[in-house]
Each structure stands twice: as C-alpha cells, then as structure tokens.
Amino acid sequence: MSACLALEPVKTLDAGLPALSGRLGQVRTRKDAFDLLARFLREQGLSDLILTFIPPGDLANQAVQWSTLTSEASDHLRDVGFDGRDPVRRRARRSIEPFIWDSAEWRGERSSVAKDMMVHLRKAGIEGGASVAVWGRGGRVAIADAIAPQSVFAALPPSFLDLFFAATVLTVRTIERLSLIRGTPPLSRREIEILELAAQGMTNSAIGASLDIVEETVKFHFRGIREKLNVRSRADAITRFAVLDASWSGRREQVSKSRSRQEDRI
C-alpha cells in the first residue's frame, strides 16, 4: 500500500472512521481498500482480517478473498473447511448485526461440524473474532472476519461492533465500486456532461439546449452510454453513473474546465 494512503494513528475508532472514509475515496485498487480496513482494525489490536466476497447460488464456490494471514495459515483454514460456508459465516449471513465469537465457547449452531471447526481453529491459534456480513447486489454477500484474542475484544469499547460494521460497509462499497469500474469502458467528455445534466432531472431537449446540440444527438449519446454501462434504461444509466461518479472526479474536473473555457470564448 502506498504511503499516501496510510492512516494516521488514532486513539479511538470514532476518530479513525472519517479518516478511513476519506482514504477509501482515494484508492484505485480493491486490494488497497482491503489494506486500509485491515490497518484500521490493526490499530485497535485486531491482528488479522479476512474479507470474503461470496457470489450467490451456484457461483458460491467462486468466492474472492483477501487476508492478512500467512499463506500457510490461509491454506490450513481452507483445508479444515473455513471457506465461506462454515458455521461462522453461516451465522454471519443469518444475523443482521456483527457479533463476536469465541472458538472455545462457540454460541452458534450446535452441530458436529461446528464443534470440529472450533477445534481446528483453536489448533490453528485462532481464539475467536468479530464477524459481519454486508449484502450487495444480486444476492452477493461480503463477510469480514476480524481475528484477535478474546482479551482484545474485552478491552474494546461498547461501540466497537457498530463501528466495525460501518468501516466494513465503507470498504465493501468501495470494492464494489472499483469492481464495476474495472469492467466499464471509459465515458467520453460529452457523455459525462449529458449524464450530469440528466442526473439533475433535465429532459433530453433541455440537455440539448444546454449543450447547444439537437435532441437527436442527445439520444444518440444515451444509446452509447447504455451500451458502455451495460444498462437498459436512462434511469439505470443515471443510477450506475452515480456509483461510478466519484472515481471519475478527475474527468469531471476536466469537463468543468472545458465549460469554463467555452464560456470565456462567448
């Protein structure tokens, strides 16, 4: 992770959350976003983080995962079934709130699978953790597991779980946005101008008048926009643009400068 994205040491989670949010707005890769969340939690004494994105249904075996654990430790956890479909992650999916769990005193499902899993986790040196699920589009779910000894969780303030949830949501939404951008062809300057005006509620004819182009040209650009953003309607294009907009801030600045130059010529 680049030094410019490093978080300043903070005394409380409350102080670190705005900083995390600001840094996430600057990242350009999904791994950088994960690293920021891991750093944020590590400063509170939570030694390791696992973040797993699990697609819905039959695609669940194509999960994407980032982890601060060593390769050997990660392989061991997968070998014993701590792979996204284990008792901890199943509980996270069913729960609407984050929770702290203890591998020595597991309070989730009482199956033999869960009992064996807790034994394997203790053998791997994992006393427990805090887990939370964040649901995304199309049934996809991201599950964050912050790993640390129980003594660390006992020393954290009562607000920790709420802030853990908020930090995870910020990170997951950033990763989702970056995932969308990776598969999205770049929009032209004119297409961005049109989407910005459409997002303000302007009709095609009003957009045309504002940009000094005919309405048919606006419609032509919208066809290209829908194709690039892989959407079927004008409303969907505006919604998708709202997700991507923050990452194209540089282009938006260029558009603004271009408008200023045009106004200067008039």
* 177 and 228 fall within a common domain: no
Query: 181 falls in which pLDDT band (50, 70, 90)?
Result: low
* 72 and 155 fall within a common domain: yes
Residue partners of 241: CB distance under 8 A and separation at least 6:
195, 199, 229
Q: Is the pLDDT of residue 27 over 50?
A: yes
* 204 and 225 fall within a common domain: yes
* 12 and 132 fall within a common domain: yes
Tell me how many domains the chain contains: 2
Q: Is the pLDDT of residue 247 over 80?
A: no
Last residue of a domain, one of 182, 209, 244: 182
* 162 and 33 fall within a common domain: yes
* 250 and 125 fall within a common domain: no
Q: Is the pLDDT of residue 243 over 70?
A: no
CATH code for the domain in which residue 259 is found = 1.10.10.10
CATH code for the domain in which residue 165 is found = 3.30.450.80
* 164 and 232 fall within a common domain: no
* 36 and 166 fall within a common domain: yes
Considering Cα of 196, then 200, then 206, then 212, what sign does the dihedral take? negative
Last residue of a domain, one of 124, 153, 182: 182
Which of 180, 178, 266, 189 is closest to 229 using CA atoms? Answer: 180
Amino acid at 18: P
| φ, ψ dihedrals at 22, nearest 5° | -65, -40
* 52 and 153 fall within a common domain: yes
Boundaries of domain holding 48: 3-182
Last residue of a domain, one of 182, 200, 235: 182
- Tens-digit pLDDT profile for residues 82-137: 888 899 999 999 998 999 999 999 999 999 999 999 999 998 889 999 999 999 76
* 109 and 215 fall within a common domain: no
Residue partners of 153: CB distance under 8 A and separation at least 6:
100, 128, 130, 160
Query: 249 falls in which pLDDT band (50, 70, 90)?
Result: very low
> Rounded to 5, what percent of the chain is helix, strand, coil?
60, 10, 30
* 200 and 252 fall within a common domain: yes
Neighbours of 42 (CB within 10 A): 16
- Tens-digit pLDDT profile for residues 159-176: 999 999 999 999 998 988
Query: 189 falls in which pLDDT band (50, 70, 90)?
Result: confident
* 144 and 240 fall within a common domain: no
